[in-house]
Amino acid sequence: MKEIKYNVIWIDDEWTKMSAFKDECEVIHGIHLEPFTTQKSGMEELDRNLNSWDAVILDAKMFDESEDETPKLDGLRKAIRHIDQLSMKKSIPYFISTGQPDLMDNDTFSQSFGHFYVKEKDDLELIDKLKEAIDSTPRRQVQSLYSDAIEQLSKIAPDAKEAILDIFEAMHFPDMHKDFKPVLYYNQLRQILESVFRVANKVEIIPDVCIPNDVVNLNQCCHYLSGNNAKQLGIRYGAKNERVVPKHIQDIMFLILSLGNTNSHTVQLNEDEEKTLSEYIHTNVYNSKYLIYSLALQVCEVVMWMNRYISTHQNIEENRRMCQSIQIDTQKDETSEAHLSEGIIEPLENNLFYCRIGSNYCINANYAKRNNLIGKKVLVIEKEENKDKNTKEQFPFFATKVKQLE
């Protein structure tokens, strides 16, 4: 059987009588036909999994909502109207294939519904036109342009490629995506990063301790892969100066984390975090479309680099031995001046993501707000090195846990 390249919804109440056509599509042309007997069931599937389908084949006279009805043109009209309404989200080519003798020479039908194909007689032409139409759609063109990256994305998670394709389609065809909202995709890039870490964990390039209770600690995974001390977990990769990822991959990963969400334990943005991100982008980013386009390209580099590394490092025992325990300092801050680990949490000017604690620490602004700590004096209990290039020069440490003092 030829590799499936096209996925097509096929609405025809007599599809079971056309097994030869279905087999020819799949075996010879790589077209998977998913049959439905009613307009309603076919359109419901299209709505559920819009990005999974490339085209629709419609019988002229079909059942509308139930097989108890008489097949007629009402179902065809509704299906075409529904497909047209979806064009704002995705352009889906459709084709009418009929075996009805009363329609074959009917000019009124042709004028009303456009070109149609006669079953058996026009099957090859239908197949050729279907493949041609799908290959010329914006999404298929983008998929072809980035085929190497899309193939790698498909390996790590079923939905990973769809977010990237959305972004690339908006980048290459901006006039067709004027309603594109970049802010909705930062979190999806984090989800792709999470999927990469889960694949790496299967062969323990990333150890199990980084995914407690099946929740990926994104921050600590990034530190571990970068050869830093994963201080929250008390581990590091190998000896000093040993690392899994090169510096440019490290920088990309931490950039995605800092823009997508400052919470290191989850990929999900709550309502406050999404609002904060939107405000940050509005205030600090010249054009959020360019930023998300560049990040999507960088995510592809991370995925392709990591997939290659994982494929060449399949020895679980060797990977497991690279995980080294480190001492976790449970005492107060190492500085001899105790007051440096104490301070009042104050909003940070021109930065909605962070608040400050004195002159050495910044802290997640949403965390401080949720716990009603703004304006309160706190003691820093746990910290990590600040990796945010926008704030690390002013604040070398990021407070991950604090205790209110007054």
Same domain, 63 and 88: yes
Judge whether 347 lies within some domain: yes
Q: Are 346 and 375 in contact (CB under 8 A)?
A: yes
Contact 236/224 with Cβ under 8 angstroms? Answer: yes
Q: How far apart are CA 122 and CA 112, in angstroms?
A: 20
- Is residue 369 domain-shared with residue 284, that is, in the same domain? no
Final residue of a structural domain among 136, 156, 173 = 136
Alpha-carbon gap, residue 332 to 345, rounded angstroms: 18
Q: Where are the alpha helices (DSSP H) in 203-287?
A: 218-225, 247-260, 271-284
Q: Are 12 and 35 in contact (CB under 8 A)?
A: yes
Task: Answer yes or no: is 56 within a domain.
Answer: yes
Can you give the pLDDT at residue 251?
92
3-state secondary structure at position 25: helix
Answering whether pTM is above 0.85, one says: no
Domain edge (last residue) among 293, 325, 357 = 325
Q: Is residue 277 located within the same domain as residue 343?
A: no
28, 94: one domain: yes
Tell me the angle at which helices 186-202 and 247-260 cross, rounded to the nearest 10 degrees.
130
Pairing of strands 397-404, 361-364: parallel
Q: Which tokens is 166 given? A: 């959305």
**Residue 263 placed within a domain:** yes
Q: Are residues 300 and 370 in the same domain?
A: no
Distance CA 223, CA 225 (A): 6
- Candidates 50, 74, 48, 46; CA nearest to 60 is 74
pLDDT of residue 146: 95
Tell me if 342 is assigned to some domain: yes
Residues 263 and 359 in one domain: no
What CATH number is given to the structural domain containing 117? 3.40.50.2300
Q: For residues 60 and 108, state if they share a domain.
A: yes
Q: Are residues 102 and 184 in the same domain?
A: no
Q: Is residue 57 part of a domain?
A: yes
The residue among 277, 299, 325 that closes a domain is 325
Question: CA-to-CA distance for 344 and 2, rounded, in angstroms?
Answer: 66
Residue at 238 is within a domain? yes
Whether 287 and 364 share a structural domain: no
How many domains does the chain fold into? 3
Determine if residue 347 is left, alpha or beta; phi over 0 gives left, psi from -120 to 50 gives alpha, anything else beta: beta
Instruction: Name the stretches of the chain with pLDDT < 70.
Output: 1, 101-106, 260-277, 280-281, 283-284, 286, 328-340, 350, 406
- Residue 119: count other Cβ atoms within 10 Å of its Cβ: 19
C-alpha 274/C-alpha 260 separation (Å) is 9
pLDDT tens for 273-286 read 666 667 766 766 76
Instruction: Return all residues near 286 (Cβ < 8 A) that are at least 6 apart.
Output: none
Domain residues for the domain of 41 are 6-136
* Helix pair 247-260, 288-311: axis angle to 10 deg: 130
Q: What is the pLDDT of residue 274?
A: 65
Residues 197 and 272 in one domain: yes
pLDDT at 388 (0 to 100): 82
For the chain, the residue count is 406
Task: Say how far apart CA 246 and CA 183 lie, in whole Å.
Answer: 28
Is residue 112 located within the same domain as residue 203? no
Q: Which is nearest to 273 in space by CA: 286, 283, 259? A: 259
Q: How many Å apart are CA 73 and CA 112, to the nearest integer?
A: 11
CA angle 256, 259, 265 (to 5 degrees): 75
In a domain, 317, yes or no: yes
Residue 333 lies in a domain: no
Q: 162-213: per-residue pLDDT in tens?
A: 899 999 999 999 988 888 888 888 888 989 999 999 999 999 999 999 998 8
CA–CA dist 74, 62 (Å, integer): 8
- Domain match, 63 and 122 both: yes
